[in-house]
Amino acid sequence: MNICVVGAGYVGLVTGTVFADLGNEVTCVDKLGGKINALRAGRMPIYEPGLEEMVARNTADGRLSFTTDLASAVRRAEIVFIAVGTPPKADGDTDLSAVEEAAKGIGAAMDRYMVVVNKSTVPVGTGDFVRDVILRYQTQRVPFDVVSNPEFLREGSAIEDTLRPDRIVIGAPSQQVAMTLLELYAPLERPMIITDVHSAEMIKYASNAFLALKISFMNTIANVCEAAGADVTQVTKGVGLDARIGPAFLNAGLGYGGSCFPKDTDSLIHTAARLGHDFGILRAVVEVNRRRVPQFVEKITKVLAPLEDKVIAVLGLAFKPNTDDIRDAKSVDLIRLLWATGATIRAYDPVAVDNARAVLPASVRYASSAYEAAEGADAVVLVTEWNEFKAINLERLRVLMRRPLVFDGRNLWEPERMLRVGVEYYSIGRKPVVPSL
């Protein structure tokens, strides 16, 4: 098939590249000329394992191309995917201005029947909105259909998630229209569910809201565990083995971040309110998440105060491993709070330093390794659970530090190991480790 993907950001670029790898002719469109030129030169705007190689292969084979010319890409396509950003507004509602702009351009260029697919995460009812915009801006009265096909990609494993998704959701106005998407996705041989458009739009938000609920619930359990002297990792294992619950998204830590969960929970709360429903349980989920970093900083301050003359090494800046994305990253909130106390911050991340520089205070120092960050530090704070941190030489870390003190925001290390090494250790929902002198 000939496919146009509007938006060469995270979702659009990964989706378009995978479709090309499956043998389709794909044109990715973006209004940012600099991004398109970089992609043509083989430079990726995001870090995603395996993406650069897949883009290079399909570009070389002529199946994948990049342009700023939306009209020409639309006229060549049988299916047009809208995969533009939908950031939150100040009140928590979803900003659909990029979706509207894409729909205008599609309507103006459309010269024959085609299927327009909302791939962006959008509130229920957006399919109707896109249809209305296209109708208003059509220069030729040709038929079209609007489909909802939400993405369920996890940054760091997006290619795998696209090739082997748990399910493919197709919200279409009719079975006949759905068949176009079924044919496109057929090579993946994955479970597909066909719904109406509104239900498909709700599935995405309901899924992310439920996962956010699991995270905040377990973080609240972690607070109780700390007060009671229980071990949240043991509690998590016992709860996760219940087949009705499962182990995914139960790890206690600093809370959820990134480009999806924060904005999707806020958007669903706003959408529910607009429809006359107070989503109280989801508002509680958001509030629990908001308090995670301040509570962790309170723990650090209690142990290490005063912080004015302290050097604190922060390991991990990306919101999760295997990505350079720092949108709503817990590291940003934590560093800003620590910096406000007068502490000196020395940070390290395998891939996200350049993105962090743009948003963190200018006084933050950046190290080339975890060991360099820890040298002479009064404390190490683990924020992102990169594999290289899991395998770190704790004995070497202890020797480098001015005070062997570690705050683990992801429960990456085992307390027993810290005790053997002689490191004072504070984690989430577990007893502190204070080696005897």
The set of catalytic residues is 260
Q: Please state, in angstroms and as integers, the Cα–Cα distance from residue 77 to each residue in 4, 71, 80, 148, 180, following that order.
A: 6, 10, 6, 18, 13
Cis? peptide before 306, omega within 30° of 0: yes
Distance CA 354, CA 100 (A): 31
Region for residue 371 given its phi and psi (left: phi exceeds 0; alpha: psi -120 to 50; beta: otherwise): alpha
For helices 126-137 and 97-109, angle between their N-to-C axes, nearest 10 degrees: 40
For helices 197-228 and 126-137, angle between their N-to-C axes, nearest 10 degrees: 140
Q: Please state, in angstroms and as integers, the Cα–Cα distance from residue 228 to each residue in 177, 304, 349, 431, following that order.
A: 56, 23, 34, 9
Residue type, 376: G
Burial class of residue 324 in the structure, from the number of CB atoms within 10 Å of its CB (0-12 exposed, 13-18 middle, 19+ buried) = buried
For 362, residues 6+ apart whose C-beta sits below 8 A from its C-beta are none
C-beta separation of 299 from 426 below 8 A:
yes
